[in-house]
Amino acid sequence: MPILFLVGAFWHQFMSAVSSNIVFSILMCSVYGYVLTYCLQPFKVSLYHQVKA
């Protein structure tokens, strides 16, 4: 984000870029989680595997 300040972005442009990046990351991570769960189901892979010490 320092690039935004170097090119002369205002604080509201900076906050808009940061907040949209956060929202996009959250949405993409949740979509990835659903896809991963869907792809693992046919193979009967457990999502949470505890290792015995």
**pLDDT tens digits for 6-38?**
898 898 998 999 999 999 999 999 999 899 888
Tokens of 8: 């002369």
Inter-residue contact 1 to 17 (CB < 8 Å): yes
Number of H helices, E strands in the chain: 2, 0
Helix (H, G, I), strand (E, B) or coil at 11: helix
Residue 42 confidence (pLDDT) above 70? yes
Q: What is the pTM of this model?
A: 0.62
